[in-house]
Amino acid sequence: MSQTFGPPPWILWGTSSSNLAIDAATLGNTGKSAQLARIAYGRPENWRFAFQCIVQSVTEPTNDFVLDVYFDLIFGVGRSKISIDSFEHYSFGFPGGAGLVLPQVFWSTEVKSPRRIIGDATSGGVCDHIVASDIQCNARVVLLGSPPNTMQLEVTAQFAPNVHTRPDWHKDPSTGGQFAGGEDGGR
């Protein structure tokens, strides 16, 4: 008797989207977005993350412009969720008329948390993991200033459990191997 298994659950835990072609129509709005991760793990876990943006090509700009890349998260446990726009933010300033060295690669595995006490610049912290059973991550791209005619980007987000111990590794086949919370069916 053979069992048929679908794709592994981690297939949606990370994506590189290299089809973000940006042009002058994207100026000053959030016209370009891509979903990079969708996790429905089935049980709470501490998750590590990695973000990356690669500026692959840019037509030579004649004026200065700024490219902002935002990684937005929605994550939760049970019936609660937290939505954080700009969980991570990269901002690239490009000088007009100057030779650009490409590709430009930016990445991070931790983010700065906001201040927890208004007026106290030291009350923020560093976040290198989140607690969730469900995660969605999108990337948004915004151009400000006088953008080039075209620009090609690749954005990547990856997530992995801090400790990856799957409940199905410990099932007792004699009892049917089912868990009461259905956590062995997480995606």
- The reported pLDDT for the residue numbered 43 is 85
Give the SS3 label for residue 10: helix
- The reported pLDDT for the residue numbered 34 is 78
Residue type, 4: T
| Nearest C-alpha neighbor of 129 from the set 91, 106, 163 | 163
pTM: 0.82
Which residue ranges make up each domain of the chain? Answer: 43-112+123-164
- CA distances from residue 49 to 37, 60, 64, 102 in whole angstroms, order as listed: 11, 33, 32, 25
Token duo for residue 36 = 């990079």
pLDDT (tens, 9 = 90+) of the chain, 187 residues, equals 445 556 777 788 898 987 677 766 655 555 567 789 999 988 899 999 999 999 888 887 777 888 889 999 999 999 999 999 999 999 988 877 666 788 989 999 999 999 999 999 899 999 999 999 999 999 988 888 777 677 888 999 999 999 866 666 666 666 555 555 555 555 5
User: Residue 39 and residue 35: Cα distance in Å, rounded?
Assistant: 11
